[in-house]
Structure 1
Amino acid sequence: MGNPTLEHFAALQLDYIIIGGGTAGLAVAARLSEDAEVQVGVIEAGPSALDRENNGAINIPGRYGETIGSEYDWQFETISQPGLGGRSLPWPRGRVLGGTSALNFMAWNRGHRDDYDAWATLGNLGWGWKDLLPFFRRSENFHPPSAAHQEYYKSAYDPEVNGTGGPLQTSHVKQYGIAHQYWHDTLNNLGVESIPDSLAGANSGAWNMICTLDPARQERSYSASAYYAPIAGRKNMHILTEATVLEVILELDNNSDWAARGVQVRCGEEEASIIATREVILSAGSVQSPQLLELSGIGQRDILEAAGIDVKIHNPNVGENLQDHMMTATIFEIPPTFPTRDDILGDPIQRTAADHAYYASQTGPWTVMPCSVAYTPLSQILPTDECAELYNDAQKIAKETGRISDALLASQFEPGKTRGQIESLFDLGNWSPDFVSEPGKKYATMLQMLQYPFSRGSIHLPPKGDKQKTTVDDKPVIDPQYYLGAGEIDRRIMAKAQRWTDRICQTEPLAHIVRARVFPTPAETSDSEETVYDKFVSNYTITDWHPIGTCAMGGYQNAKAGVVDERLRVYGVRGLRVIDASIMPLQIGAHIQATVYAIAEKGAEMIKEDYASRG
């Protein structure tokens, strides 16, 4: 073997191999390696950015988004989406040590308690809100805002639900953008109350987004810097970066059952088989965990055969049940005197000044984050008759599909339910990939995100012809099927909820800085506003980058409905688990980062428990 790094790694006597050194993978590795008696190996396809001098695009909070499309991004794309006018969407995923936690916008929140209780209702015992709360808290080290900060920015918090001893640094931002001063009063004037703490299991209302941010250093806190860097010297913790797992090695044991023995890895031009004596753990994310299962012979028979892969375990659920949050970006013109992030990005002089302020004193524009957030139930933003119509239609969908998960989704429309079905986030600047700013004009953006979609898609290997075999180098077919089938109700909800975006921006005091909506343009005489909203949603919806569900927990139906059991073990295989966002059976009303860390914390704990019980 000509690659000394790979040769050294292959010679290790590893108990656990973790595929993917991302958000979940490094958290699992850190917890498992707390036992000095076990050897833990992590294989990451991307590089490490921890020891690079020029990694400000990752570390500096206000430079969020710069890594999308870079060397740190897998740069996936969906296939053409009929529900979106035939468009394909970029799907950024982290290709760096730390995974997508190094690329995301650092949002830190949890779903409603009912979101997680729904997982338990499906039969995934131990996954309700009360079960997960200790693992949420275990992951985080929350830094409370000062009394002055709380009064000025309305940055309330509940000390009972925030963890203070975990690896990940979380905090309110030091400084908010100018528009934030209007946010709470505007929402309050619309009947949306400000809530004490969005992390307490009921996140409907107006609040300030907490970020994965180290307040002392004013730097991003992510899995590589928080979970790995402090324990990088552990002798039983081994990381192999810039290496690609080709497949999980499955063998038949003496009982003719399949067991995971290790992985086949490529590093540079060399390949090697890496053996794990206990378990292989897939933490490659919602796109690549199902991809690797299929490459290893676990999945839907037709998909595998078309890809030239030998079928070892037929499970039609692998790669199915894909769910994502949909998002629109409505643009409003604001007075040209307001400073925006666009100014810094477009003016080298202002950017240099921002750099100087940040590096000299950890202050200035690079410490400002978009944190003006509200989650609202449809009953608070739509007329009663429209809510009743949506509820009836959702019940019909559940009856037609016969899926318990769809019945649980339909329950969100019941009178009296308070789950925040629509997320609104306001920030100065043009966030739309489709609207081109006019010179000399300034803009603000209202992001609107649907939290509980009925749309269901899939991620699978592409087929190969002429007896060829699909490999890991063939990008998976990502088909979210936005707004198709049962998902047509999602399009209607998003279109109706556009009225709410307008109402917020027409309400004082926020209306004081909003001149007019410019994207979508107001209705012409031949169109109604409803028609404008319908076209806008169909033509300009994008992903909110929260894919889940492609290796879901099966609950009471086991392998008939899922890929892993409630202890995250892959059905039909010994020694193989999946621990990442793909195991989530239903979408949550929140940015998913905090939940992924909780899944990792709980998954690592279950592995320890399982081996302790064997004596």
Structure 2
Amino acid sequence: MPQQSDYIVIGAGSAGSSLTRRLIDAGHSVHVIEAGSVDTDPNIHSPQGWPALLTGPNDWAVMTTPQEHAAGRELFWPRGKVLGGSSSLNGMIYIRGHRDDYDAWEAEGNTGWGWDSVLPLFKRSEDHEDGASAFHGAGGPLHVSRLRDRHPAAQAFVDAAVALGHPLTEDFNGEIMEGAGFNHATIKDGKRHSAWQAFVVPVLDSPLLTVTTDALVHRVVIEGGQAVGVEYSVGGEMLVATADAEIILSAGAIGSPAVLHRSGVGDRADLAAAGVDVVVDLPGVGKNLHDHLLVGNIYESPSPLIPGRNNLLESQLFAHSRQTDDNAPDLQPLFLHLPYPTDGGDAPAQGFTIAPGLVAPRSRGTLRIASADPAAAAIVDPNILAEDYDVEALVDAVIMCREIGGHEALAPFVAREYVPSSAPADRDAIRSLVRALAGTYHHQVGTCRMGVGDDAVVDPQLRVRGVAGLRVADASIMPTVPRGNTNAPAIMVGEKSADLLLGA
């Protein structure tokens, strides 16, 4: 007999976790189907453990196609395959993005997604250690903390940036985003507070909740234009789950479009290439793929840095490149007190990284499945650096970060600049450096774009066009990526989807 519930949530990541909690709280039965395992790895729960998780059993370890505009390199994209999804692998940075990001979504026809509408959802999730305020919430499931025992090198980065004219920022989620400062983090009692731990673990014993792990979703079964069930396998055994109300895809920017494709929903040509019959010809599925980009500016230190007590990603900077006059910053350089080669290349035994980051990319790529086999990797082509703006903005970011890295405040921590190994001769040399080094900020979005045009996959109520009873709720619905880390925005999408389902 099929497993039956009011709702099925496919994916236990950031959005799926917050959505599940709100549905349980409202008295509905929920079946969560997750491809990954239970979050038992100690490195998940240690704020310093995330580097050891990359390429491990809890990481999908997505590889892109060779990138035409990035020296022909294949990029490695870590993605969470575990309860909590990527919120169990990420750096625990809590950033919402700029208010203009959400107002732009609404201006495109996505009514109810502007800043004034989504800010209360962010606040509802929060239990911020500062308490309730105009910008923060208290009493929500997700603990947001300020970092204590700050690393001296991270402090030196902030000091250097401020000395060079960047403003000091106490809260990147407050009135003014721009400037240098320390992150707020999803850490509670010295442990990672993933979306799963925050939202679902407190209700794990609810009789309304069913959780199936290590389950590969083959397809959503669609009959007569209606989503009627989910076919999935556990240990090779094929199973079926049904939902009396709706099915919600929360498998992320890689997983959700892949499930739609396997279900026969997508661009006719993409489905034909994978040998899948067309159920709904929806050309936008898998399109609009984009991501924040990082470049590793690495410094070797004269002696090992003292161990970090927080998340190894304590301080950062929001700034404008010379390529934009937007009100919102387009750069997010990040300080890591470990060597972090964004191209997977060489790194010194000891040191730190100032990572020039681009958070308003204009290049767009695609994703499609290779076959109907759920175990087969998707064909992922983000087409990074195809737009000149992205290259030039990252060049500006490299120049900015190398200026900070060369400031006297960081001198006690620097033996030599390791990447680049010699000072670039000119701007052309930095362009080449960017194309050779650019990697992911781990913020992929956009492949099930929300909107009102023909390129939209879901409408502003997150309903899949052409399929009744099926919605998408995760970062894949974002028309454009917010200018900041995407964990908090994905949780917000889960909160919003719950309101849409419950008629709030």
Give the TM-score, by structure 2 length. 0.96
- Partner in structure 2 of residue 531 of structure 1: 428
Q: Identify which of 414, 417, 420 aligns with 1:517.
A: 417
Structure 2 CA distance for partners of 1:15 and 1:576, relative to 1, 3 Å: same
1:309 aligns with 2:252: no
Q: Identify which of 332, 335, 356 aligns with 1:423.
A: 332
- Partner in structure 1 of residue 24 of structure 2: 33
1:370 aligns with 2:361: no
1:447 aligns with 2:419: no
1:227 aligns with 2:203: no
Aligned-pair distance for 1:340? 4.5
Aligned-pair distance for 1:438? 5.0
- Partner in structure 1 of residue 134 of structure 2: 160
- Partner in structure 1 of residue 376 of structure 2: 474
Separation in 1, partners of 2:290, 2:228: 31
User: Kindly, what percent of the aligned residue pairs are identical?
Assistant: 33
For residues 151-300 of structure 1, the aligned pairs below 5 Å read 159-200=133-174, 202-214=176-188, 217-252=189-224, 258-300=225-267
Structure 2 CA distance for partners of 1:102 and 1:63, relative to 1, 3 Å: same
Secondary structure in structure 1 of the residue aligned to 2:48 = helix
- Partner in structure 2 of residue 352 of structure 1: none
Structure 2 CA distance for partners of 1:173 and 1:496, relative to 1, 3 Å: closer
1:133 aligns with 2:119: yes
Aligned-pair distance for 1:437? 4.3
Structure 2 CA distance for partners of 1:483 and 1:491, relative to 1, 3 Å: same
Matched letter for residue 537 of structure 1: V
- Partner in structure 2 of residue 46 of structure 1: 36
Alpha-carbon contact 1:60-1:366 (below 8 Å) kept: no
- Partner in structure 2 of residue 595 of structure 1: 489
Separation in 1, partners of 2:195, 2:437: 32
For residues 326-345 of structure 1, the aligned pairs below 5 Å read 326-336=293-303, 339-341=305-307
Structure 2 CA distance for partners of 1:368 and 1:450, relative to 1, 3 Å: closer
1:460 aligns with 2:368: yes
Structure 2 CA distance for partners of 1:299 and 1:218, relative to 1, 3 Å: same
Aligned-pair distance for 1:160? 2.3
Secondary structure in structure 1 of the residue aligned to 2:295 = strand
Separation in 1, partners of 2:16, 2:430: 41
| Further displaced range: 589-598 or 496-505 | 496-505
Alpha-carbon contact 1:158-1:197 (below 8 Å) kept: no
Aligned-pair distance for 1:598? 0.6
- Partner in structure 2 of residue 318 of structure 1: 285
Aligned-pair distance for 1:497? 2.5
1:550 aligns with 2:443: no
- Partner in structure 1 of residue 479 of structure 2: 585
Alpha-carbon contact 1:247-1:296 (below 8 Å) kept: yes
Structure 2 CA distance for partners of 1:202 and 1:459, relative to 1, 3 Å: farther
Separation in 1, partners of 2:10, 2:344: 36
Secondary structure in structure 1 of the residue aligned to 2:498 = helix
1:436 aligns with 2:333: no
Aligned-pair distance for 1:241? 1.0
CA deviation digits over 1:535-568, x for unaligned, max 9? 211111111110000001113x2xx021001010
Aligned-pair distance for 1:514? 3.1
* Structure ID, larger Rg: 1
Alpha-carbon contact 2:348-2:418 (below 8 Å) kept: no
Aligned-pair distance for 1:63? 1.5
**Structure 2 unaligned residues grouped into runs of 5+:** none
Separation in 1, partners of 2:443, 2:347: 27
1:609 aligns with 2:499: no
Alpha-carbon contact 2:132-2:138 (below 8 Å) kept: no
Separation in 1, partners of 2:101, 2:128: 23
| Further displaced range: 116-125 or 161-170 | 161-170
CA deviation digits over 1:68-110, x for unaligned, max 9? 1111111211011111111101111111111111111111111
Structure 2 CA distance for partners of 1:123 and 1:522, relative to 1, 3 Å: same
Matched letter for residue 334 of structure 1: S
Separation in 1, partners of 2:134, 2:472: 30
- Partner in structure 2 of residue 567 of structure 1: 461
Task: State the Cα RMSD in Å.
Answer: 1.8
Aligned-pair distance for 1:40? 1.1
Alpha-carbon contact 1:176-1:369 (below 8 Å) kept: no
Matched letter for residue 240 of structure 2: S
Q: Identify which of 5, 12, 22 aligns with 2:13.
A: 22
Give the TM-score, by structure 1 length. 0.79
**Structure 1 unaligned residues grouped into runs of 5+:** 1-6, 145-156, 253-257, 342-364, 379-386, 391-412, 463-468, 611-615
Structure 2 CA distance for partners of 1:195 and 1:240, relative to 1, 3 Å: same
Aligned-pair distance for 1:592? 0.4
